[in-house]
Chain A
Amino acid sequence: MREQRPVAEGLFTWPSEHPALLGSRCPDCGETTFPVQRGCPACPSQACEEVELGRSGTLWTWTVQHFPPPHPWTGNAREFVPFGVGYIELEDGVRVEARLTENDPSRLRIGMEMELVIETFFQNDEGEEVVTFAFRPVEA
């Protein structure tokens, strides 16, 4: 198996048997945001704390990206496969934007149950699999 490397440190717990996104919670106003940031976007606090976010939620909105994105996207434009993107509403009170494992519009609908997965989206020049977070529909 190839070496796996997260696309960025501190976005999600990794390696982990049950990976979770890492967000911030404000000790003053309780607001939750993603990814981690010290300053609160809702109040003047500068002391937000790192928290693990819930691993499932509902699809608030979605689209499918049908053309190869421009730089700095690291995918291969010649072998481009459209990919889904959505905002997943978590019980933490935040909607997180993510790639979706599903790219068929007929199988995506607002309100459907989604769960977090870690997926490979790119193989870098060193032969490592670069992994990122995504959400997949929960099979009924």
Chain B
Amino acid sequence: MAADASKTRSLAETPLAPLHERLGAKMVPFAGYSMPVQYPDGVLKEHQHTRAAAGLFDVSHMGQAFLIAEDGSDPAALLEELVPAELQALEAGRQRYTQFTNERGGILDDLMVTRPLADLGRERLYLVVNAACKDADFAHLEARLAGRARVERLEDRALIAVQGPEAAAAVAAVFDDQALLARPFMSQTLARFDGAVCWLSRSGYTGEDGYEISCPADGAEALSEALLARQTVKPIGLGARDSLRLEAGLCLYGHDIDETTTPVEAGLAWSIGKRRRAEGGFPGAETVQRQLAEGPARKRVGIRPDGRAPAREGVEIQSESGERLGEVTSGGFGPTVGGPVAMGYVPSAFAAPGTRVGLSVRGKALPAEVRRLPFTPANFYRG
């Protein structure tokens, strides 16, 4: 149990760094940033508070950008060359989840694409990508769309997620806009805080209802403090963010999805547009179309160990006869489930819920069962 005294110098900081310090956060290096892994309440209580009330997450390390066509037209068809989502039909103020794919159909990163409301300019798309991938993603866009579209990085904006059953009420109160209570899942709303225009998306990464708020960096601290002043809202670190998204069955890039996994294998086929399935036209389309038609050889599944011992990333998944099936890609303790939960890839013949498997933990095959994802029911606002 060596104490980990990580040096956090030379890491980038988000605009909320002073707030994290005042709140007593434990900071860790993550994707080149110094980020709060937990606050004094600890991971377990933070997780439970988010499911019961609302949590505030600093996700300013993520990459925000506009994609703008050089000729001033709609860049949706250009972005469709790199992702399998239907974007041309995306309406203003609506958002989609998709993935950058490679020539083998593997995933370079996953991202959110919003066609902004008219006030932000219709002929552009607003992208939010993973922190660890952002430089590579934007370089990929600029290389593949060179001369046709450009990336305008939004370095001067922070990103704050408010998640949980009380999140929308807290956001509506702070922005003094009750209409925010009734905005649909995956929609964008513009609202002012302290005079500055914020972009609010009804989306998140916890399986709960809530908003992700892009705001000017210099206003992020005041906005966060206004949200935290609500009795229902507490600050939540990366530790609980991970256990919340794991219970919600959501993929973490670099773990559950990467360049070797396709959207079909990962159970993300729902994010592939109907027209795109037929037409293709994105990197690796033949592989993805073949897997859609014939079924993938392996699938990402939920796994619930019978006992209390967590099975973490890298643990071998075995058949009951001890044959190697695959590996756990994310695993840990699910506070809401009240026991260990995991995800991993298994051959499709072993992917049916209820299939008995073993998990090789410290030399022992712990009994476990394939489960349907998510482990905790999604609590998104559907109107």
Do chains A and B interact in one complex? Answer: no
Residues of A within 8 A of B (CB): none
